[in-house]
Amino acid sequence: MSDSTDLRIAVLGVGMMGADHVARITDRISGARVTVVNDYLTEKAEQVAATVPGARVVADPLDAIAADDVDAVVLATPGPTHEKQLLACLDAGKPVMCEKPLTTDAATSLEIVKREAQLGRKLIQVGFMRRFDAEYEQLKAALVAGELGQPLVMHCAHRNPGVPSYFDSAMIVKDSIVHEVDVTRFLFAEEITSVQIIRPTANTLSGSDLQDPQIAIFTTETGRHVDVEAFVTTGLAYEVRTEVVGELGSAMIGLDVGLVRKTRPGVWGGTITPDFRVRFGAAYDAEIQRWVHAVRSGAETGSYVDGPGAWDGYAAAAVCEAGVRSLETGERVAVDMVDRASVPGA
Amino acid sequence: MSDSTDLRIAVLGVGMMGADHVARITDRISGARVTVVNDYLTEKAEQVAATVPGARVVADPLDAIAADDVDAVVLATPGPTHEKQLLACLDAGKPVMCEKPLTTDAATSLEIVKREAQLGRKLIQVGFMRRFDAEYEQLKAALVAGELGQPLVMHCAHRNPGVPSYFDSAMIVKDSIVHEVDVTRFLFAEEITSVQIIRPTANTLSGSDLQDPQIAIFTTETGRHVDVEAFVTTGLAYEVRTEVVGELGSAMIGLDVGLVRKTRPGVWGGTITPDFRVRFGAAYDAEIQRWVHAVRSGAETGSYVDGPGAWDGYAAAAVCEAGVRSLETGERVAVDMVDRASVPGA
Amino acid sequence: MSDSTDLRIAVLGVGMMGADHVARITDRISGARVTVVNDYLTEKAEQVAATVPGARVVADPLDAIAADDVDAVVLATPGPTHEKQLLACLDAGKPVMCEKPLTTDAATSLEIVKREAQLGRKLIQVGFMRRFDAEYEQLKAALVAGELGQPLVMHCAHRNPGVPSYFDSAMIVKDSIVHEVDVTRFLFAEEITSVQIIRPTANTLSGSDLQDPQIAIFTTETGRHVDVEAFVTTGLAYEVRTEVVGELGSAMIGLDVGLVRKTRPGVWGGTITPDFRVRFGAAYDAEIQRWVHAVRSGAETGSYVDGPGAWDGYAAAAVCEAGVRSLETGERVAVDMVDRASVPGA
Amino acid sequence: MSDSTDLRIAVLGVGMMGADHVARITDRISGARVTVVNDYLTEKAEQVAATVPGARVVADPLDAIAADDVDAVVLATPGPTHEKQLLACLDAGKPVMCEKPLTTDAATSLEIVKREAQLGRKLIQVGFMRRFDAEYEQLKAALVAGELGQPLVMHCAHRNPGVPSYFDSAMIVKDSIVHEVDVTRFLFAEEITSVQIIRPTANTLSGSDLQDPQIAIFTTETGRHVDVEAFVTTGLAYEVRTEVVGELGSAMIGLDVGLVRKTRPGVWGGTITPDFRVRFGAAYDAEIQRWVHAVRSGAETGSYVDGPGAWDGYAAAAVCEAGVRSLETGERVAVDMVDRASVPGA
């Protein structure tokens, strides 16, 4: 994909999530660039646009959607504005990646579904990012491969260290538990037919009158049981744990140890990467990405290197030569290496 | 970084590693594109170049380095050619990211170091990718922060399921143990002064006469001890484990559980991400990268979506509405949702 | 405690549990011996009594309880007989360790409670053995010490590989979930006020019409929430997992890694024994117990040793002498040791 | 084993280890009792003997060995006295369980071996307790079963939080590393033929001039490699870790997660107990042992119970009855239970 075909994206809403998406598109992924930035706070939009060469601010979100230099839209605006903006994307025939929620209620969401269905092509993606998480992908793969047999039960825990002061008890359902709603639908590939929210003794240390924790219980079309502990004021860490129990075994993610399977009698097991390209794949990406950034800024900084240099290559060679000699004798061999100070500039 | 300033890269050598780098630059990272591909097998070069819009094949590696549309070079050619190609990069003043080894022996490596030092600017980076691995970065950070106190000892294990048939015993030193050479220098920030290779009973199942496993013992300038088990024919998996033992505690990576610290009396501990953007950062990247690819190929495939769509947003909204009602009563609430089949095209 | 004061115990019911108790009292614990064995199958009672020097069979359970050479009773008979036998123990003023259930229903259990209360001293212990498990004791200790703050929620999983053919769905409640009933009361030190049993899609591979798995939900006096997954036909293993979530943190046992605490921001941690006497305490017990058994049977077998012998002590001394010499020089030292064959009988 | 055949044991030396053995024999194991206590500090001997009904102090260790009411001897005296005392045991034909070291040097150890060999029966056991540890037993079993194939390499770590002030560098070899000497011989079933002690940068925080840590390297008869990190002043915890690497896989113990195997491609795994009697075996032992102690002291304390009582049995029955009713309907059922205060004395 050459730069001449880079996807030109308008990012609407550049609060924490939107600004992250701008940085992501600009600095970390391939094939796209942000051309238009919009926010109801103009100053914020200008601040973010200034970090992106070639990006401009457009004040009205609908103008941003309609702009000629916009091929696709990332929607990170507040939920209440989504309906209008999504309809504009559909009218313009432009693909849109919409942060959750789709809209603020089921009735308007259904209207959006219907409008897109009439178009005959899918333009809307919703930002349930867990479907792209490596551990959830492994869990889905284990299910699809039948490793767990027919799934029967799922246990979830979803804990946050804290929430903003405007968070209320209903938002724990709509903003937190909603992720487990999508995880249930993604993993079990069927709809949820009933919901129960149990209200345990509330955390008195939250400094609020939130009903927190909450226990959600879902029943699915075929009768599977899902329970979710949502606890958003733990004061500790962000923990997301999901365990599926099936007829042939169980598997859990989020235990800080990758996917853990229990599918053979008497044994629990994790996974080891079979290949260095898998184990160090992200390291290779980071190595090259950071080197590219270093080289591009090198004219200014004078440094074209972001990592080990020629000296490190030399030192490794000197040590390995000693190692190969020791391999013959089994005895200790001194490393023969010049003093770095003897090579000015090295 | 707009596409007009994309770094133009020549990739020399497109075997497994080089081809990976081409795909990485083209599909996964920002700010660079491959303009020139070179390999001593022309057919291979053409095959790889065909996957990159705008890339061309240049038959001679020195021509590729010198080309006007090349700002920087990735060197993934066989080791024996590195010396000549690195010198050409230095002469041309072009930054080069060189896969290990720098050159095939210490003497020529030292020549490279001296030539670069004379230039007065660092153009050469060596591909010791572990320095960019998240776990090694955490281990380095723990050391730098003094969490382990003065380091005294390091234990490493480096196991491969297998190696190519041309691998010999000296290559276990130069190709495998060399990574621990760099890890030692990276983590301890001092040089290795002696090496001993111990030869245990060899694996009779390797189908070769390799001396495998090998135990390498390094002593560093200040007397620290490092031992490395290199075992390249385990038949099992790729395992890289590193434990640093210091005056205040120890920390280990590669145990399939992230960084594990033992720095307080009676306690061992791992790390939990404090923030959903850390925990799901890679998922967000994948979500947007895959959506960009989907949208760009959408004209052909008719699909602009690579993930949850509008229906998934509607379903989540419907379940959450039931949840909010249950939150008031604590009782089970049926989810009110239209039948998907009633919305053709949804 | 000299043998002259050994507690003389009658074991009533020597099926699997009762026979285990006989072996336990005879071979593994101090201060007691089985003097009387009873079972409704006389042959079974005689078989078990034959393994215990000095034990005799008493055909009627009430005679066994009343016997002069019985100080205390272990009740491992079927549940329906417990009421009558417990009352006999109370009448005789003899302490009784009663396997669960106390009796088969709440009404008769309450009668037992009242009768014992009238006596003015506690004679009855019920066999909820989890209270004596090291991990549960650690979890209780963490709660009592306030490490988790006020507990709010508890999640339990209780899985068996399989159950006998006579097991029915109500027995999953009364025989399996009953353990979590006691765990809840033990850890939270308050009563359970309501119970709900949710029935997920049943396991079709159990070869039965059991409602399995079952999800039990308890609410306690102060409103704490407990959920229990009971799944007794997993085909895999015996798994018991319990996680308590409190206002200051959470702790889990049964994850095959001991007690795991999350009570500090961003960190999860396990426990390391501070002391070799803790780490190897059970090994020391086993060492001495097995040596005692070996010595006692030595007259017959000719062997008074169950472990490393004098040769092992000599070999260790020889290696350590070489080690101490190497400590001075840092060089490899050959071990000086005679050939074992040169010492006939060694 | 009735009390009439209890093994009568003299414990020589009642410092920390010897006193532990006295308590172990008296309170925790079956079939033996301490009849004679000896220590070079008479006061200490009297103090310990006072805790054991029926035990008496004998001032001279050789008299203690020879005593008529002594069937077997536990030797926990200082190492330099072992030789003389062991010879006395051999002369008396009495089995002896001797804490390490056998004697203080190889020459005298060999003399002991020869004297016992002349007797024609094995009377001496040496206190290498790791052979009785459940994890080492599992590791040995995995080796014997061939799960790891031919073993090639072993890595050990042996860390103590601290040592007494009289500890010197040679004692790290003779008192700490000696355990790994025995572990090597136990697991590999062959002798060690050479030893090398490497001396890394020493811990400056130990408050001593110890060479600590030390790295010991053993070579065995068939050429296997063993390395041991001994670090006795970590200030943190007692850690003992052992990993065996074989031709078919590796297994590690001491990682706070039980035995972890890597013996199948791409998978690491731990073990789950198949059976509740295995999982809760130690809990059952503790339950009965503590109940026996409680009953025996009950005449004095008025309590014959050390655990859940009749009320706990009643409460469990009441909850389970509610559970069985809920099983029929799936709805929440209130627990019907009398107020405990309404049953005075319950």
Beta bridge partner(s), residue A34 = A9
Expressed as residue numbers, the domain containing C43 is 3-127
* Whether C122 and C136 share a structural domain: no
Question: Token digits for D320?
Answer: 């389970």
Q: Residue D301's pLDDT band (boundaries 50, 70, 90)?
A: low
* Element at A49 (helix H, strand E): helix A42-49
Least confident of A83-87, B79-83, C209-213, D284-288: D284-288
Of A271, A294, A309, the last residue of a domain is A271
What is the CA A30 to chain-centroid distance, rounded? 16
What residues of chain B, 29 to 88, have a C-beta less than 8 Å from chain A?
29-33, 52-54, 71-72, 74
Query: Which residue type does A242 have?
Result: T
Buried b (16+ CB within 10 A) or exposed e, C176-199: bbbbbbbbbbbbbeebbbebbbbb
Nearest to A153 among C153, C213, C225 (CB): C213
- Same domain? For A189 and A308 the reply is no
Tokens in use for A184? 């249930």
Neighbours of chain A (3+ CB pairs under 8 A): B, C, D
Q: Side chain identity at D337, as an amino acid letter?
A: M
Reduced to 3 states, what is the DSSP secondary structure of residue C252?
strand
* Residue C14 pLDDT: 97
Residues C101, C71: one domain? yes
Flag whether pLDDT at B18 surpasses 90.
yes
Instruction: Kindly compute the dihedral angle of the four CA atoms of residues A101, A104, A108, A113, in this order, to the nearest 10 degrees.
Output: 10
Low-confidence residues of chain C: pLDDT under 50? 1-3
pLDDT of residue A271: 66
Query: Which of A169-183, B251-265, C84-98 is predicted with the least confidence, judged by mean pLDDT?
Result: B251-265
C-alpha–C-alpha distance, residues A143 and A121, integer Å: 29
pLDDT greater than 80 at residue A227: yes
Residues 298-337 of D with CB under 8 A from C: 298, 302-324, 326-327, 330-337
ipTM of the complex: 0.85
A30 neighbors B55 (Cβ within 8 angstroms): no
A147 and A260 share one domain: yes
For chain A, list the strands marked E by DSSP. Answer: 7-12, 32-38, 56-57, 72-75, 96-98, 124-126, 151-159, 192-198, 214-220, 225-231, 239-246, 250-253, 260-264, 267-271, 333-334
* Beta carbon pairs, A and B, within 8 Å: 521
A171 inside 8 A of chain B by CB: no
Contact (CB, 8 A) for C276 and D20? no
Q: State the Cα–Cα distance between residues B256 and B81, nearest whole angstrom.
A: 37
pLDDT attached to residue A4: 52
Tell me the C-alpha to C-alpha distance, in Å, between residue C45 and each of B19, C20, C42: 75, 13, 5
> Facing residues of C226 across strands?
C154, C218
Q: Which of A43-52, A97-106, A233-242, D215-224 has the lowest mean pLDDT?
A: A233-242
Q: Residue C289: its pLDDT value, please?
A: 86
Q: Is the pLDDT of residue B2 over 60?
A: no
| CB spacing of D125 vs C292 below 8 angstroms | no
Residue B293: which of B27, B31, B35 has the closest Cα? Answer: B27
Per-chain mean pLDDT for chain A: 89
- Return the amino acid letter for C145: A
The D residues from 270 to 299 touching A (CB cutoff 8 Å) are 270-274
Q: Are residues D149 and D261 both part of a single domain?
A: yes
Residue by residue, DSSP assigns C188-204 as H-S-EEEEEEE--S--T
Q: Give the distance from residue B223's alpha carbon to the nearest chain D alpha carbon, in angstroms.
A: 5
> What is the pLDDT at residue B126?
93
Pairing outcome for strands A267-271 and D267-271:
antiparallel
Q: Please indicate if any CB of chain C lies within 8 Å of the CB of A231.
A: yes
Tokens of residue D288, six digits: 């009965």
Residues B82 and B41 in one domain: yes
Q: What is the pLDDT of residues B262-306, one digit of tens each?
A: 666 766 667 666 677 777 788 888 888 888 888 887 766 667 888
- 3-class DSSP assignment, residue A75: strand
Query: How does pLDDT run across B30-51, given as a tens digit for each residue?
Result: 989 999 999 999 999 999 999 9
The per-residue pLDDT for range B171-213, each reduced to its tens digit, is 999 999 999 999 999 999 999 999 999 999 999 998 889 999 9
Cis, bond preceding A151 (omega within 30 deg of 0): no
A156, A214 Cβ separation under 8 angstroms: no
Q: Tell which residue, C227, C226, C224, has the closest CA to residue C213.
A: C227
Rounded to a whole number of angstroms, the distance from the CA of B341 to the nearest CA of chain D is: 31
pLDDT of residue D169: 94
What is the average per-residue pLDDT within D322-336? 89
Indicate whether D136 and D123 sit together in one domain: no
The C-alpha atoms of residue D346 and residue C243 are separated, in whole angstroms, by 30
CATH of the domain at A118: 3.40.50.720
The three-state secondary structure class of A264 is: strand
Q: How confident is the model at residue D268 (pLDDT cuts 50, 70, 90)?
A: low
In the structure, what pLDDT confidence band is assigned to residue A1 with cuts at 50, 70 and 90?
very low
Question: What's the first-to-final CA gap in chain A, in angstroms?
Answer: 38
Q: Taking a C-beta distance cutoff of 8 angstroms, is the pair D159, C274 a contact?
A: no
Q: Say how many domains are in chain C.
A: 3
Peptide bond into A213 cis (omega under 30): yes
* Other residues' Cβ atoms within 10 Å of the Cβ of residue C223: 12
Nearest chain A residue (CA) to D275: A266
Report the 10 Å Cβ neighbour count for A118.
12
D37 and D106 assigned to the same domain = yes
When CB atoms are compared, the residue of D266, D268, D272 closest to A274 is D266
Nearest to B99 by CA among B183, B15, B168: B15
Helices marked H in A169-309: 169-171, 178-188, 276-279, 281-296, 298-301
Cis, peptide link before residue D200, omega less than 30° from 0: no
In angstroms, the CA D289 to CA C307 distance is 26
Single-letter residue type at D123: L
Boundary (domain end) residue, out of B271, B304, B325: B271
Contacts of C271 in chain B (CB under 8 A): 266-268
Q: Look up the CATH number of the domain holding residue C175.
A: 3.30.360.10
Run of H or E including D84: helix D82-92
**Do C122 and C17 share a domain, yes or no?**
yes
> To the nearest whole angstrom, how far is the Cα of C269 from the nearest Cα of chain B?
4
Task: Calculate how close chain B gets to A60, using CA atoms only, in Å.
Answer: 23
Asked if residue B170 and residue B99 are part of one domain, the reply reads no
| Element containing residue B74 per DSSP (H, E) | strand B72-75
Q: Is residue A14 located within the same domain as residue A119?
A: yes
Contact D172/D210 with Cβ under 8 angstroms? yes
The β-bridge relationship of strands D214-220 and D192-198 is antiparallel
| pLDDT tens-digit readout, B72-81 | 999 999 999 9
pLDDT score of B236 = 85
Of C32, C191, C275, the CB nearest to D315: C191
In Å, how far is A263's CA from the nearest CA of chain C?
7
Question: Do residues A117 and A148 share a domain?
Answer: no
Please say which residue of A212, A236, A271 terminates a domain.
A271
Across D43-62, average pLDDT:
96
What's residue D274's pLDDT? 64
Out of B79-88, C192-201, D79-88, D117-126, least confident range = D117-126
**Measured between alpha carbons, how far is A152 from A226 in angstroms, rounded to an integer?**
9
d(CA B280, CA B259): 18
d(CA D338, CA D346): 11
**Which amino acid belongs to residue A316?**
A
Residues 6+ apart with CB under 8 A from C144: none
Nearest to C328 by CA among D79, A283, B3, D211: D211
Q: State the Cα–Cα distance between residues D260 and D272, nearest whole angstrom.
A: 11
pLDDT average, residue stretch A290-308: 79
